[in-house]
Amino acid sequence: MEKYYQESIECASREEIKAIQDERLVKQIRHVWDNVPYYRKKMEEKGLTPEDIRSTDDLHKLPFLSKKDLRDAYPYGLLAEPLENCVRIQSTSGTTGKRVVAFYTQHDIDLWEECCARAIMAAGGTNEDVCQISYGYGLFTGGPGLNGGSHKVGCLTIPTSSGNTDRQIMFIMDLNATILCCTPSYAAYLGERMKEMGYGPDDIPLKAGIFGAEAWSEEMRQDIQKTMGIKAYDIYGLTELSGPGVSFECSAQDGMHINEDHFIAEIIDPDTEEVLPEGKEGELVFTAIDKEAFPMIRYRTRDICSLTREKCSCGRTHVRMTKPKGRTDDMLIIRGVNVFPSQIETVLLNQGYAANYQIVVDRVNNTDSLDVQVEMTPEMFTDNIGEIEDRQRALSDGLKSMLGIKAKVSLVAPKSIARSEGKAVRVIDKRKI
């Protein structure tokens, strides 16, 4: 039986959802107009006043907000509440430039934790579960968000944070953890380590995993499910909007329901900024309609996916987004061809490899080169050169047909590629160094 944290909202009719969104959007636009000069100026530049926004039908009139706006306005320029009303900040891992600092009132924390509670219950969680949270705690939103959600559901929460893999496994086994929350790459590593320690799927008490914060393929899901004997659910979110729980998978494991009472989603063409119809792939844009401190109007996420309103077997009515296949800024352009790391992952996993790989892009003699280093699994490990060459050729052919360009494949020994405890770094683009 499907379980819901807030059934009446999660399964509301389209009309009810639209009514909530209309009302909240109008209120939110008035809030940012009154309290954030940065938004007011952007609206004025488009000749808009709050009176022009009377329902979600007017959303398209509003200006977009980009990562650059967040950097320009750092740290307080987009804050919509006095600091004395704020109770927390979180921040992105930001590898380039200034970090994004997001502010939360207590209302914003509650809203965020409720979204995470919805995700945990959609993964079958109840107050009888033991939920181990192996996302990082601290400025990163993964640990704090799911910790709050787990409390709201009433699970016994184990806040291990990331790292110290053998201790993670000890807690899972000794305290009978039933739900594991971490990045998919860390879940794969935990699975690998459990296997080495001699634990098969039947020995592991886990029943579900809630994995997100990075792009991962369907093939990787199958692998993790098999190794640990669990159902693996995807969860999506970003610091700017609160953190994990903006959307989450249900028992159907077929796209992530976006919490539409809090976030309005649009898909746009990243080049023309035109809003695309349902089903078309493009850049995901969000408007947070119920946040107080850090509202975000038409925020361009750079994540690439599509939306569907097709009926879902779980009973939830909120729109679903497909697994993001990566970010526009993760997309590699190699010899003029667009390549997403997730496409490479799909080929590797289909040929029986685990998700332990590194992609190195370089430019040699004015030509881009794509080098994929892939670990052999312990079962396929051999020093027979002929066998290795055959495998490399098969992978190279697979990549050619998926990507349309040639890649150099190097098979390396098991365990020679560093494992990740958080978001995995799969790509080294030497052209940018």
Give the binding site for ligand DLL (CB under 6 A): 92-93, 135, 141-142, 212-215, 234-239, 243-244, 301, 303, 323-324, 327
Per residue, the 3-state secondary structure of the chain, as one string, reads CCCCCCHHHHCCCHHHHHHHHHHHHHHHHHHHHHHCHHHHHHHHHCCCCHHHCCCHHHHHHCCCECHHHHHHCCCCCCCCCCHHHEEEEEECCCCCCCCCEEEEEHHHHHHHHHHHHHHHHHCCCCCCCEEEECCCCCCCCHHHHHHHHHHHHCCEEECCCCCCHHHHHHHHHHCCCCEEEECHHHHHHHHHHHHHCCCCCCCCCCCEEEEECCCCCHHHHHHHHHHHCCEEEEEEEEHHHCEEEEEEECCCCCCEEECCCCEEEEEECCCCCCECCCCCCEEEEEEECCCCCCCCCCEEEEEEECEECCCCCCCCCCCEECCCCCECCCCEEECCEEECHHHHHHHHHHCCCCCCEEEEEEEECCEEEEEEEEECCCCCCCCCHHHHHHHHHHHHHHHHHHHCCCCEEEEECCCCCCCCCCCCCCEEEHHHC
**Is 220 or 395 the residue whose CB approaches ligand DLL more closely?**
220
Q: How far is the CB of 325 from ligand DLL (least distance, A)?
A: 8
Q: How far is the CB of 77 from ligand DLL (least distance, A)?
A: 18
Q: Please, what is the minimum distance in Å from the beta carbon of residue 55 to ligand DLL?
A: 27
Of the pair 141, 251, the CB lying nearest ligand DLL is at 141
Q: How far is the CB of 23 from ligand DLL (least distance, A)?
A: 27
Nearer to ligand DLL, 221 or 316 (CB): 221
**Residue at shortest CB range from ligand DLL:** 212
Nearer to ligand DLL, 40 or 327 (CB): 327
The least CB distance from residue 307 to ligand DLL, in Å, is 15
Cβ of residue 288: shortest distance to ligand DLL, in angstroms? 14
Q: Among residues 40 and 71, whose Cβ is nearest to ligand DLL?
A: 71
Q: At closest approach, how far in Å is the CB of 322 from ligand DLL?
A: 10
